[in-house]
Amino acid sequence: MTTTTTAAPPTEKLNWKVLIGSLSGSVIEWFDFLVYGTVASLVFNHTFFVTDDEFLSMMFSMASFALTFFFRPVGGIIFAHIGDRIGRKKTLFITLMLMGGGTVLIGLTPDYATIGLWAPILLIVFRIMQGIGIGGEWGGALLLSYEYAPKNRRGLYGAVPQMGISIGLALASGVVALLSLMPDDQFMAWGWRIPFVASLVLLIIGVWIRSSLDETPDFKKVQQSGAVVRLPIAEVFTKHWRAVLVSIGAKATETGPFYIFGTYVIAYATGLGVENNIVLTAVAVAAVIATIWMPIFGRISDSVPRALLYRAVAIITIVYAFPYYLILNVGEAWAVFVATAIGFGLLWGSVNAILGTLIAESFSPEIRYSGATLGYQLGAAVFGGTAPLIATALKESSGGEWWPISVYVVVCAVLGLVASFFVTRVAHREG
């Protein structure tokens, strides 16, 4: 007599190792993002990029901050290829070590007064390490969570790595606020190094958790079926370009408003006379709201069609783009908190919660790492890092008017709105 066994249905119990493992790298990435930006503008122009021209020193320092944006696509292509060829787990171990290791090494690098020209050279090398690691981290972290998730919990699981953005920003805002209380001479000498070296704790936790995880179930099936693609990126370009375009459009609605509601607001609100620490606190509070809201909204998307939810939030973002500045222009602390909590905490938090899952669902497992990374990183490059520059240019060219910035937010949201109508058409159909 023979017996047959059937696979047990996916458990409803949350896989905390998977969730924390996918979250850890994103927290490190965004923690470093804000801390480095602050330190670059306050410290590195005096201690690493030392010249006789103060303006030139500042330009070199800020250029080092922007450097990772140029290397993220490179890292994305490299590690997406590796992830689709040899697996998510090994790839994520490498990206975390590059990204986290680069962060810690920056905190340990001697300054110009100690080792001369080697100081800025080493700093740039470690920033490049970070950029390459970050480029491959997002797609891997998303797939680690998404491909382990029960089918009826993919929205929830896909929201968790996205939470790293708001958690990282909240942590960084808190650390920057604490560091600002230090005497200037101590902060310049060694205080700025604390958050970089302290990120070693996050790195150790991330490596420990990820090393204890097995390869994702979806990639195991790809290996067992012999469906591993020789050149995944070529497959994406030739057969899945529509899904890439949809992903870019979906990313536009998240990344453009993110930089307007979450970062450019600092420059804009302080220009209205609101104190810098109040604006930073408002952003930190909104980041906490987003962190709490994202898993809730992700779970809702497991019951309500994600494309429909995405469409609804895009429309609300379009409607809110103009009232957002009307509220800010009140110029009071409460107005900054309200405007930021709605725009960054709730609207951006909603879009970001389901973005990763929407993108992942557009690609089959054998090219999912490459496809998701390409769409996400191209969207980030076009609509992300350029947003503060565009906002500044629009305000300047309009004679200080705010409404062109609202138009830019509307354009980004419209792109996502259009993309939402094509999500189901390009989605991968599982057998």
The model's pLDDT over 130-185, given as tens digits with 9 standing for 90+, comes to 888 888 888 888 998 999 989 889 999 999 999 988 898 888 877 877 877 888 88
Residue 84's pLDDT is what?
92
Distance between CA 110 and CA 362 in Å, rounded?
Answer: 46
Q: Which amino acid is at 318?
A: I
> What local confidence, expressed as pLDDT, does residue 431 receive?
52
Give alpha helix (H) positions in 12-87: 16-39, 45-47, 54-86
Contact by Cβ (8 Å): 343, 290:
no
Q: Tokens in use for 198?
A: 């302290």
Quote the pLDDT of residue 5: 38
Sheet strands (E) in 201-352 = none
What pLDDT score was predicted for residue 245?
93
Is the predicted pLDDT of residue 242 greater than 80, yes or no? yes
Read off the amino acid at residue 118.
W
Give the mean pLDDT of 410-419. 94
Q: Quick check: do 16-228 and 230-431 share a fold?
A: yes
| Continuous segment of H or E residues that includes residue 388 | helix 387-397
Residues 6+ apart with CB under 8 A from 184: none
Predicted confidence (pLDDT) at residue 401 exceeds the cutoff of 70: yes
For the chain, the straight-line distance linking the first and the last C-alpha, in angstroms and rounded, comes to: 31
> What's the CA gap between 319 and 314, in Å, rounded?
9
- The segment with the largest mean pLDDT, out of 1-10, 16-25, 61-70, is 16-25
- Residue 2 pLDDT greater than 60, yes or no: no
Q: Which residue has the tokens 């090994």?
A: 90
Q: Are 236 and 84 in contact (CB under 8 A)?
A: no
Mind listing the pLDDT tens digit for each residue in 375-392?
888 888 788 766 767 887
CATH topology of domain 16-228: Growth Hormone; Chain: A; (1.20.1250)
> For residue 9, what pLDDT is reported?
42
Sorting pLDDT into bands at 50, 70 and 90, what band is 203? Answer: confident
List C-alpha distances in Å: 191 to 188, 249, 397.
6, 41, 39
For the chain, what percent of residues have pLDDT higher than 70? 96
| Spatial distance between the Cα atoms of 240 and 402, rounded to a whole number of angstroms | 38
Query: What is the CATH number that goes with domain 230-431?
Result: 1.20.1250.20
Residue 8 — very low, low, confident or very high, per pLDDT cuts 50/70/90?
very low
- Whether the predicted pLDDT of 10 surpasses 50: no
- pLDDT bucket at 1, cuts 50 / 70 / 90: very low
Average pLDDT over residues 338-349: 96
pLDDT computed for residue 29 by the predictor: 78
Q: Taking 80 as the threshold, does the pLDDT of residue 67 lie above it? A: no
For residue 330, give the nearest of 264, 415, 268 by alpha carbon.
268
Is residue 370's pLDDT more than 70? yes
Sign of the alpha-carbon torsion through 332, 338, 339, 341: positive
Domain ranges, ordered by start, for the chain: 16-228, 230-431
Strands (E) located in 286-397: none
Q: How far apart are CA 162 and CA 354, in angstroms?
A: 9
pLDDT-derived band at 6 (thresholds 50, 70, 90) equals very low
Q: What is the mean pLDDT of residues 305-326?
A: 96
The arithmetic mean of pLDDT across residues 272-289, rounded, is 88
Instruction: Note the pLDDT of residue 345.
Output: 95
Confidence class for position 253, pLDDT limits 50, 70, 90: very high
pTM of the model as a whole? 0.84
∠ CA(314), CA(317), CA(319), 5° rounding? 115
What burial class does residue 28 get, using C-beta atoms within 10 Å of its C-beta: 0-12 exposed, 13-18 middle, 19+ buried?
buried
pLDDT at 183: 86
